[in-house]
Chains A and B, each alone.
Chain A
Amino acid sequence: MKDRVIGQSVPKYDAGPKASGLLQYADDFTLPGMLYGKVFRAKVQAAILLGVRTERAEQLPGVHAVITAKDVPNNNLRARFGQSTDVGGQFEGLYRVLAEKEVRYYGEPIALVAAESPDLAEQACQLIEVDLQPLPGVFDSVGAMEPGSRQVGEKPNNIASHFKIRQGDVDQGFAQADVIVEGTYRVPYQDHAYLEPESGLAWSDDDGTINIRVSSQVIEHFREVAEILNLPHSKVRYLGTWIGGGFGRKEDITVESYLALLAWKTRKPVKLTYTRAESLLYHCKRHPFQMEYKTGATKDGKLVALQARLISDCGAYSALSPWVLLYATVNAAGPYQIPNVKVDSYAVMTNTAITSAFRGFGAPQANFAYESQIQKLAHILGLDPLEFRERNYLQTGEAFATGWIYERPIPLTELAQKAWSGLGPLGSAEGGRKLGRGVAIGMGSYGRLTFLHDTSRSYIKLELDGSAIIRCGVPDVGGGQGHILCQIVAQELGVPLERIKLHITDSQLTPLAGTTTATRQLMMSGNATLKAANELKKRLLIKAGQLLNVPIENLIITLNRIEVESSRKEGVSLVEVINRLSGEGEELFVEAQFNAPFTDIPASEVLQGQTHPDFTFGAYAAEVEVDEQTGQVQINKIVAAFDVGKALNPAIVEGQIEGGCIQGVGYALFEDMAIHNGVIQTPSFAEYLIPTAVDVPDITVILLESGSGVGPYGAKGIGEPPMVGIAPALVNAIEDAVGVRIADLPVTPEKIRMAIAQKPEGKR
């Protein structure tokens, strides 16, 4: 069937139920006799935990359980990365359910309460007493690495992980350079700020199985929860809900280990939904990085050397920090051909909020630094920034800094030019404000690290009336991760979209499809579903060929029918083919598995060769107006251009780019998380400002379809890559407008105003 459904912007499967208010999110579920859970947390950044007294809380009428570390069967887990590959100590960390003997950060969970109402649970928490001996906090990630610094956790020198890139010889490279620029860049914490706070509801079955209905990007966490409870993996079941925004934060365990413990202890259903303040104050953030860069180029505009030192603050427990650091390291030199590269990167533990996965996963941080350096070099060399980039883009068949030779298209020249020209004629600034424009490029990986040996499974069943059922354990964060499987089945098997039923995220009844992280689901579950559909298609065509007496090569599947391609009137209905096969004892169901490209586990901290299945490339251009008196920035226009491989549903693809872009605008300009001595000072959306409808312009999206992706139909992943590139594009535009270049995000009006005031007289 030629592009009938694939490539069309059909409304997605879940859009109708969501728009009518009928779709149930985690907090919308209830059960009779349900209790309410609450987490009691430390109000100190670092301390020895001498004791926890819970008697008064336990005696409060209506309180059914108070749990502390001693009640948790397995309180300390060796944290792995979702699946089972053992990748060595460099990547491991401690996942501690409840504080034990020590407190490492402000807000660390110490006890859990289940009570008959949320108010009672809150009251019970106020009756819990702790004996603490405060310790000096370690709050500065750079200082924390110095000898003599107090060790925050289990890692010597507080270094949770360290990666390197060694390519060529940077000393020789800098010796060849005519121009060398150095810069130190700082990027901040960022909160995911999804609209749905963390939430779940757990209960114990008649046979003691713990069921957890939860908003999670990773239903495979049932294994960790089972280990916490010392239960067989088969006795913990996740029923993932449609997720009200994840962006990486619902990749780590959120409320589910607490829920499981409370349901296991009380044998009653327990609900736990975080307040917005709990979500903002205590959940993981994007890693702040300090990035010291030195980049050299010849006077004819060729990059010759790049040296970088990246330091990320991973907080009190390492969580996914080693992985984020690895991504940042792989991205450190960007999609540029640079013969000599040396990168050293460190994830450092401190007594501050935990940092972990957030859309982009290390790539936006490195991108801000390498693109800032490129812009500075272009200015000094007197070259047009686009032209300077064009002289240095990696070309197909050349190697990334890790030595991985990339054989797919890298259409950055076209993307950046399209984004730039998409801005159209220069506008005029109002009220004496200064107009400026900027452009930047970026790359973002999709698919998990290739040495993790990633797999996904999906199941399709054709019913006797020609309708279809899909079962796939794919968590849906709103990006169409579930819906697109329906479009694939409709495309390949001729089933109308409205006759497809989709089951997702039951860790026992839907085939496991892996995490909705790493921009992997289209490639992984999409390919698994396509593989299953193709197996069914083959069986349908063989039978239809027999019925029509036509070779199967001449047959095509159309809506509800199989037809002879050269004579479309000749054909047979899908229902007839299905029923004939069924009558012969052949039921039409398939479960298929897709395996990502595999590579070996890195032998050392030096990253070499292929690390990811593929990258998505893109460019942003922006026009801003800056008020020199106040430092206020107004964005007039943003144009995004991305090579998406193939847009299977253009509206969904554009939505990912628009949304990622605006999350990047917030990162670049607005989102200023204040942290004082490890304590977050922004507990609500009145202090932590994310973009509203009036803060942002319409975004123009330009899609390029190279067909070169690893996903189905040549599609690339597009969930995370749009976070990359927008911050440097805006900073370049602001510099163009008022002649100051800010190296610390977010670029607040205060920073712009201060930089303008400090500008040497006469310089633009």
Chain B
Amino acid sequence: MSRTIRLTVNGQPHQLEVEDNDLLLNVLRERLDLTGAKYGCGIGECGACTIIMNGKAVLSCLTLAVLADRSEITTVEGLGDYRNLHPLQQAFLEEGAVQCGFCTPGMLVSAKALLDENPNPSEEEIRQYLRGNLCRCTGYTSIVRAVQKTLKPAAKESHPKI
């Protein structure tokens, strides 16, 4: 069965006909041409499909599109583009936190959700929050460093390891 959903994605309102069993990841990628969120495992284990829905980090591969009705969604494309990068994106570039880049969109979105919830996380809190986002290239050191780089100076001082 199909239904109509209305949602706002990266500030743009959309109205779509979707099937009951359509996954949000596929709707974003195939219907809205937002291919930033990735298919990495399809069962919520790798985090490459992470988006922000109504302020919370969500795995779009496990979310039915119908559940996104009347929701507000941010994907990596909504953080910033290469002419106008978000501070997190800029920090990822500067710290060499982007290698193959396939985990990067989900990782950035998770980091954004973390900082929205907790503007001054410790290294341990950053690692705990990002544990659901797998990266096979970096070993996480540069990713954690990049997130720390965007924190306010006061927070940096309280974590001298930075």
Binding site for B on A (CB under 8 A): 9, 11-12, 14-25, 27-28, 30, 192-197, 242-247, 273, 275-276, 477-479, 651-652, 654-655, 658-663, 665, 684-686, 690-694, 696, 698-699
User: Are A478 and B100 in touch, CB under 8 angstroms?
Assistant: yes
Partner of B134, one of A195, A658, A659, A663: A195
Interchain Cβ contacts under 8 Å between A and B, 22 examples:
A11-B96, A16-B82, A16-B89, A16-B93, A19-B89, A21-B34, A23-B101, A25-B102, A195-B134, A195-B136, A197-B39, A245-B102, A655-B96, A655-B137, A655-B138, A659-B136, A661-B139, A663-B136, A685-B134, A691-B139, A691-B140, A693-B130
Please name the residue on chain B nearest to A21 by beta carbon: B36
Complex: A9 Cα to B41 Cα, angstroms: 32
Complex: A16 Cα to B108 Cα, angstroms: 13
User: Are B127 and A693 in touch, CB under 8 angstroms?
Assistant: yes
Decide yes or no whether B71 CB sits under 8 A from chain A.
no
Complex: A12 Cα to B95 Cα, angstroms: 10
Complex: A14 Cα to B105 Cα, angstroms: 14
**A244-B101, A693-B130 are known contacts. Are A658 and B85 too (CB-CB below 8 A)?**
no
Complex: A28 Cα to B26 Cα, angstroms: 11
**B60-98 interface mask toward A, CB cutoff 8 Å, 1 = contact, 0 = none?**
000000000000000111011110010001001111101
Complex: A22 Cα to B104 Cα, angstroms: 11
Decide yes or no whether B58 CB sits under 8 A from chain A.
no
With a cutoff of 8 Å between Cβ atoms, the chain B residues found around residue A14 in the complex are 98, 101
Complex: A23 Cα to B104 Cα, angstroms: 11
User: Are A696 and B140 in touch, CB under 8 angstroms?
Assistant: yes
Most chain B CB within 10 A, of A17, A244, A660, A690, is at: A244
Please name the residue on chain B nearest to A19 by beta carbon: B89
User: Are B101 and A19 in touch, CB under 8 angstroms?
Assistant: yes
User: Are A693 and B133 in touch, CB under 8 angstroms?
Assistant: yes
User: Are B136 and A247 in touch, CB under 8 angstroms?
Assistant: yes
Complex: A18 Cα to B143 Cα, angstroms: 14
Which residues in window 94-133 of B have CB below 8 A to A? 94-96, 98-105, 108, 123, 126-128, 130-133
**Interface stretch of the complex, out of B1-9, B43-51, B149-157:** B43-51
**A195-B46, A685-B41, A693-B144 are known contacts. Are A16 and B85 too (CB-CB below 8 A)?**
yes
With a cutoff of 8 Å between Cβ atoms, the chain B residues found around residue A24 in the complex are 35
**A19-B92, A273-B39 are known contacts. Are A659 and B98 too (CB-CB below 8 A)?**
no
With a cutoff of 8 Å between Cβ atoms, the chain A residues found around residue B103 in the complex are 195
User: Are A684 and B102 in touch, CB under 8 angstroms?
Assistant: no
With a cutoff of 8 Å between Cβ atoms, the chain B residues found around residue A276 in the complex are 40-43, 45-46
With a cutoff of 8 Å between Cβ atoms, the chain B residues found around residue A18 in the complex are 98, 101, 104
Decide yes or no whether B54 CB sits under 8 A from chain A.
no
Partner of B108, one of A19, A27, A693: A19
Complex: A694 Cα to B134 Cα, angstroms: 11
Complex: A652 Cα to B99 Cα, angstroms: 8
Which residues in window 21-37 of B have CB below 8 A to A? 29-30, 34-37
With a cutoff of 8 Å between Cβ atoms, the chain A residues found around residue B144 in the complex are 693, 698
With a cutoff of 8 Å between Cβ atoms, the chain B residues found around residue A193 in the complex are 134, 136
Partner of B139, one of A16, A194, A273, A658: A658
With a cutoff of 8 Å between Cβ atoms, the chain B residues found around residue A660 in the complex are 139
With a cutoff of 8 Å between Cβ atoms, the chain A residues found around residue B133 in the complex are 693
**A24-B35, A195-B38 are known contacts. Are A19 and B139 too (CB-CB below 8 A)?**
no
User: Are B128 and A694 in touch, CB under 8 angstroms?
Assistant: yes
Complex: A663 Cα to B137 Cα, angstroms: 8
User: Are A690 and B134 in touch, CB under 8 angstroms?
Assistant: yes
Please name the residue on chain B nearest to A246 by beta carbon: B100
User: Are B99 and A20 in touch, CB under 8 angstroms?
Assistant: no
Most chain A CB within 10 A, of B75, B89, B96, is at: B96
User: Are A478 and B101 in touch, CB under 8 angstroms?
Assistant: yes
With a cutoff of 8 Å between Cβ atoms, the chain A residues found around residue B140 in the complex are 662, 691-693, 696
Q: For residue A215, give the distance in angstroms from its CB to the closest CB of chain B.
A: 10
Please name the residue on chain A nearest to B105 by beta carbon: A21
User: Are B38 and A698 in touch, CB under 8 angstroms?
Assistant: no
User: Are A658 and B100 in touch, CB under 8 angstroms?
Assistant: no
User: Are B102 and A196 in touch, CB under 8 angstroms?
Assistant: yes
Complex: A25 Cα to B38 Cα, angstroms: 9
User: Are A242 and B39 in touch, CB under 8 angstroms?
Assistant: no
With a cutoff of 8 Å between Cβ atoms, the chain B residues found around residue A244 in the complex are 38, 100-102
User: Are B40 and A196 in touch, CB under 8 angstroms?
Assistant: yes
Please name the residue on chain A nearest to B80 by beta carbon: A20
User: Are B141 and A15 in touch, CB under 8 angstroms?
Assistant: no
**A11-B94, A20-B85 are known contacts. Are A195 and B40 too (CB-CB below 8 A)?**
yes
Please name the residue on chain B nearest to A243 by beta carbon: B100
User: Are B45 and A685 in touch, CB under 8 angstroms?
Assistant: yes
Please name the residue on chain B nearest to A476 by beta carbon: B100
Please name the residue on chain B nearest to A245 by beta carbon: B100
Complex: A246 Cα to B103 Cα, angstroms: 13
Decide yes or no whether B52 CB sits under 8 A from chain A.
no
Please name the residue on chain A nearest to B142 by beta carbon: A655
Complex: A342 Cα to B102 Cα, angstroms: 44
With a cutoff of 8 Å between Cβ atoms, the chain B residues found around residue A685 in the complex are 41, 45-46, 134
User: Are A684 and B45 in touch, CB under 8 angstroms?
Assistant: yes
Complex: A691 Cα to B81 Cα, angstroms: 30
Complex: A415 Cα to B103 Cα, angstroms: 32
Please name the residue on chain A nearest to B41 by beta carbon: A276
Complex: A192 Cα to B108 Cα, angstroms: 23
Complex: A655 Cα to B100 Cα, angstroms: 11
User: Are B131 and A692 in touch, CB under 8 angstroms?
Assistant: yes
Complex: A196 Cα to B77 Cα, angstroms: 19
Complex: A698 Cα to B124 Cα, angstroms: 11
With a cutoff of 8 Å between Cβ atoms, the chain A residues found around residue B98 in the complex are 12, 14-15, 18-19, 478
User: Are A194 and B141 in touch, CB under 8 angstroms?
Assistant: no
Partner of B76, one of A9, A20, A275: A20
**A194-B102, A659-B139 are known contacts. Are A21 and B131 too (CB-CB below 8 A)?**
no
Q: For residue A12, give the distance in angstroms from its CB to the closest CB of chain B.
A: 7
**A276-B41, A684-B43, A693-B143 are known contacts. Are A19 and B96 too (CB-CB below 8 A)?**
no
Complex: A331 Cα to B99 Cα, angstroms: 28
Please name the residue on chain A nearest to B45 by beta carbon: A685
Q: For residue B90, give the distance in angstroms from its CB to the closest CB of chain A.
A: 8
Most chain A CB within 10 A, of B37, B43, B131, B140, is at: B140
Closest 9 CB pairs of A and B: A21-B36, A478-B100, A18-B101, A244-B102, A662-B139, A651-B96, A21-B76, A478-B99, A11-B93
Please name the residue on chain B nearest to A698 by beta carbon: B141
User: Are B139 and A696 in touch, CB under 8 angstroms?
Assistant: yes
Q: For residue A213, give the distance in angstroms from its CB to the closest CB of chain B.
A: 14
Complex: A194 Cα to B48 Cα, angstroms: 11
Q: For residue A93, give the distance in angstroms from its CB to the closest CB of chain B.
A: 28
**A19-B108, A692-B131 are known contacts. Are A242 and B101 too (CB-CB below 8 A)?**
yes
Partner of B35, one of A15, A21, A195, A662: A21
Complex: A244 Cα to B48 Cα, angstroms: 11
User: Are A195 and B102 in touch, CB under 8 angstroms?
Assistant: yes
Q: For residue A129, give the distance in angstroms from its CB to the closest CB of chain B.
A: 27
With a cutoff of 8 Å between Cβ atoms, the chain B residues found around residue A27 in the complex are 38-39
With a cutoff of 8 Å between Cβ atoms, the chain A residues found around residue B59 in the complex are none
Complex: A686 Cα to B37 Cα, angstroms: 21
Decide yes or no whether B135 CB sits under 8 A from chain A.
yes
With a cutoff of 8 Å between Cβ atoms, the chain A residues found around residue B81 in the complex are 20, 22
Partner of B77, one of A22, A477, A661: A22
With a cutoff of 8 Å between Cβ atoms, the chain A residues found around residue B131 in the complex are 692-694
Complex: A696 Cα to B144 Cα, angstroms: 11
User: Are A698 and B161 in touch, CB under 8 angstroms?
Assistant: yes
Most chain B CB within 10 A, of A23, A25, A195, A684, is at: A195
Please name the residue on chain A nearest to B102 by beta carbon: A244
A27-B39, A195-B48, A692-B134 given. 14 additional CB < 8 A pairs? A11-B93, A15-B96, A20-B89, A21-B105, A195-B46, A247-B136, A651-B142, A665-B139, A684-B41, A684-B43, A686-B43, A692-B140, A693-B143, A693-B144
